[in-house]
Amino acid sequence: MTHLSTGGACPYSQQVADEFRPFDIADPFAFYARAREEAPIFYSAELDYWVVSRYEDVRAIFKDPATFSSENTQSSYKARPAAVQRVLDEGGFQGHSGLSARQPPDHTRIRAFVNKAFTPRRVASLEPFIRDLAERTIGAFEGDGEADLVSQLSYDLPALVIFKLLGVPDEDVPNVKEWALSRVLMNFGDPGEEEQLGHARNLVKYWNYCVALIESRLETPTDDLPGDMARVYNSGDHTVGTHEMASLVYGMLTAGHETTTNLLSNAFRDLLTHREQWERLVADPAKIPGAVEEMLRYAPSVFTWKRKVKKPATVAGVELPVGANVLLLLGSANRDPAQFERGDELDVERSNAREHLAFGLGIHYCLGAPLARLESRVVLEELTRRLPGLRLKAQDFTFAPNTSFRGPDQVLVQWEV
């Protein structure tokens, strides 16, 4: 446990800290509102993290990477059992963060390299492909009168898009989705040892897959993002090594679809729950880009994020020592009424929705933000056009037990055929 100085004052409500359930993110918003009011920062003994809930504080932390490092972003909350670590070591697992946990100057060097390949032009060029994919996917169930919008739409579509960008065959979707979920649960969940062993085997397969992909592109560059990186490398620019290139693919193969799957799934659920908001989009599709920003604010797919204190710092009146871990509640900050009037209300015409923190801020601002926005806009345009009469079925919504990646496991809907 880390120690702190509070000048003799009680820094937070211990009761709020005791009521924190970090791995249950189904509906924590009432708790978040209380935390913002009574304990804007509190210590979670379960995680050994200081938890920050207010927009102003979260934003300031994102903007100060020299004090609040991202080096622990991909670290698991607890030490891995020896048997689990042995599976990883014997399998040759060397997967590390591509960008999110890298620090300057490495982060600056690697981001500049990947920016040469991950250009706005390349992202924009994907729109016809995304629209065709959305049309075909929706068309496959349009005549059925019912569907699960997660398993039949949002689960595969973002993966197929990032796979096209990365040059991964469509038939590999099931494997990569399974491996990516293992990564999420290992780094952001609390699985038991037996479950971790299965996830560790998946991570070995995942990493070796990424290494093989880079090796094949170095030998024969193709017209995709890894191919572009390979061409830069083969031209003599070794700014980024082959292991770092594989790490970038390892990162993008998770971040590039898991987050957008959840963003879309949250949008389906919440827009249809708040029917009048859905009807606004049906009546005026020009409102959809703003609705995407509001969904990123109201129900961000990345719900919390991690930082580590590198220099003595004070947050909400609490002095944090070097080495302290900090958990940023993005799902709380994005509803803070000090920043967003009626923050707990969904409003697709909210004027300042784009001030959300769903993509982070500063040097670690999400590389894939333009792609996530594009995919979400196109899918909502096609869904509201093709199936304007969508309605939710009666159902209980469940979410994967972890701290950081939030989206319903299914969204069952029906409509008149």
Cβ contacts of 117 within 8 Å, gap of 6 or more: 225, 228, 229, 232
- Where does the pLDDT of residue 5 fall: very low under 50, low under 70, confident under 90, or very high at 90 and above? very low
Q: Is residue 264 part of a domain?
A: yes
Among 231-235, 337-341, 379-383, the least confident range: 231-235
Listed range (35-49, 215-229, 291-305) with the worst mean pLDDT? 215-229
Residue 12 has a pLDDT of 58
In a domain, 251, yes or no: yes
User: Has residue 255 been placed in a domain?
Assistant: yes
Contact 113, 232 (CB under 8 A): yes
Residue 2 inside a domain? The answer is no
Rounded to an integer, the average pLDDT of 325-330 is 99
Q: Percentage helix, strand, coil, to 5, in the chain? A: 50, 10, 40
Under the banding of pLDDT at 50, 70 and 90, the label for residue 302 is very high
Which of 323, 314, 325 is CA-nearest to residue 6? 314
Task: Say if 143 falls within a structural domain.
Answer: yes
Strand, coil or helix: what is 330? helix
pLDDT of residue 96: 78
Report the alpha-carbon distance of residue 317 to residue 178 in Å, rounded: 42
User: Is 367 inside a domain boundary?
Assistant: yes
Q: What pLDDT sits at residue 11?
A: 52
pLDDT, tens digit, 9 for 90 and up, residues 180-193: 999 999 999 999 99
**Is position 1 within any domain?**
no
Give the pLDDT of residue 255.
82
| Predicted confidence (pLDDT) per residue in 362-404, tens digit | 999 999 999 999 999 999 999 999 999 999 999 999 999 999 9
CATH number of the domain residue 308 falls in:
1.10.630.10
pLDDT band with cut points at 50, 70 and 90 for residue 3: very low
- Domain with 94, as residue range(s), is 15-414
Per the CB < 8 A criterion, the answer to whether 200 and 88 are in contact is yes
Residue 60 CA, chain-centre distance (Å), reads 20
At 324, give phi and psi (nearest 5°). Answer: -70, 140
Question: Which backbone phi and psi does 395 adopt, to 5 degrees?
Answer: -165, 160
Sorted by sequence, the CB contacts under 8 Å of residue 318 that are 6+ apart come out as: 4, 6, 11, 12, 41, 50
- Per-residue confidence (pLDDT) for residue 236, from 0 to 100: 93
Position 7 in a domain: no
Report the domain count for the chain: 1
Q: Report whether pLDDT(1) > 50.
A: no
The model carries a pTM of: 0.92
Return the structure tokens found at 261.
């799957």
Contact 143, 417 (CB under 8 A): yes
- pLDDT, position 101: 85
